[in-house]
């Protein structure tokens, strides 16, 4: 399972937790403007916006988990089991496989407003990358500095939701996730007033009692509520250090620890957490074993090139000794 979110200080930030029980040998990848993107049922993109994000590179093709393009538009795909439903090709529509969806969007568009219009002709078609890499059941969050969308291909068609919280987890469908927030309207960052009984003197014996009722389990619906509460109330200074640190604290509020979520004979963990400064094109990440931040700068490669720049994850713990 996963969590993706947005945060704005002076600059805008977008990122996610990838929660799985195994790794696909992820790497941060920069795709320059002239790397050719072939599409199975649509016209190829031979020139496009450059992008940076997390991928598995298969047969030279970057399969993006999350990415930001040079214009600041960002996108991430998150697990959506039992709900995702991909379609047959439809004549006259833009037929895009889910593994092509991120580069197709980020390669062409600058804003969520442009994407919203393009989605009117989109069909997410049931075409796998290969027999060894079948399609994953996904839904997506697409964001710029001003707004976000959630895109879900389900049995009754393509659903495009305005996403006012700029955040996404997994099941159930986004409309239910958003409605469920109504159940937490009384949760607060302030200390609570005694409304239990006028006859009883109740003591606010601890800080944080206003947040009593927030879910603390690791399910996708509970993580949605907890992460929205954290993100909506987060504050930081405007410096890069303060904003990036705050972003990782938001993601840390819903990260998965080894041993807490059983998946067969394995355990789901937060394999990596990412945070991209979408204004500057700097992609930060940390991994489960390495809590030190590592950064990849989109603008430190030749963006007019035609070859991928791939950076394997630094996964071992990095310790700075002080004595």
Phi–psi pair at 278, nearest 5 degrees: -75, -20
User: Which residues lie below 8 Å from residue 125, measured CB to CB, with a gap of 6+?
Assistant: 40, 41, 86, 87, 88, 89, 95, 96, 97
Structure tokens at 83: 């709900």
Structure tokens at 21: 């029980």
Percentages of the chain per state (helix, strand, coil), in multiples of 5? 20, 30, 50
Helix (H, G, I), strand (E, B) or coil at 270: strand
Q: Is the peptide bond before 209 cis (omega within 30 degrees of 0)?
A: no
Q: Is 2 a catalytic residue?
A: yes
Residue 5 buriedness (CB in 10 A; 0-12 / 13-18 / 19+)? buried
Which has the closest alpha carbon to 30: 279, 270, 276?
Answer: 276
Helix (H) or strand (E) holding 225: helix 220-233
Q: How many CA atoms lie within 13 A of 104 on its CB side?
A: 21
User: Exactly one of 2, 260, 275, 276 is catalytic; which is it?
Assistant: 2
Q: Which residues are catalytic?
A: 2
């Amino acid at each position: 399972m996963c969590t993706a979110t947005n945060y704005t200080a002076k600059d805008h930030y977008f990122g996610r937790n990838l929660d799985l029980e195994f790794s696909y040998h992820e790497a941060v990848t920069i795709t320059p403007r002239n790397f050719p993107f072939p599409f199975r049922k649509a016209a190829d993109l031979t020139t496009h916006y450059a992008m940076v994000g997390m991928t598995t590179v298969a047969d030279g093709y970057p399969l993006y988990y999350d990415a930001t393009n040079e214009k600041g538009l960002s996108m991430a795909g998150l697990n959506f089991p039992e709900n995702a439903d991909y379609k047959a090709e439809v004549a006259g529509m833009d037929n895009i496989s889910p593994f092509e969806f991120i580069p197709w969007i980020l390669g062409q568009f600058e804003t969520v407003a442009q994407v919203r219009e393009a989605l009117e002709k989109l069909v997410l078609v049931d075409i796998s990358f290969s027999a060894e890499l079948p399609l994953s059941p996904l839904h997506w969050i697409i964001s710029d500095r001003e707004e976000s969308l959630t895109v879900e291909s389900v049995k009754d068609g393509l659903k495009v939701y305005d996403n006012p919280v700029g955040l996404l987890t997994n099941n159930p469908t986004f409309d239910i996730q958003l409605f469920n927030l109504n159940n937490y309207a009384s949760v607060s960052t302030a200390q609570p007033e005694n409304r239990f009984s006028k006859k009883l003197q109740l003591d606010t014996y601890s800080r944080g009692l206003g947040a009593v009722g927030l879910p603390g389990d690791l399910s996708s619906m509970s993580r949605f509520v907890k992460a929205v509460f954290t993100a909506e109330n987060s504050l930081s200074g405007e410096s890069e250090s303060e904003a990036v640190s705050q972003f990782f604290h938001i993601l840390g509020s819903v990260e998965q620890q080894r041993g807490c979520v059983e998946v067969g004979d394995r355990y789901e963990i937060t394999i990596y957490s990412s945070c991209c400064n979408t204004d500057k094109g700097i992609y930060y990440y940390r991994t489960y074993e390495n809590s030190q931040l590592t950064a990849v700068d989109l603008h430190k490669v030749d963006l007019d090139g035609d070859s991928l720049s791939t950076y394997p994850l630094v996964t071992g713990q990095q310790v700075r000794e002080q004595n």
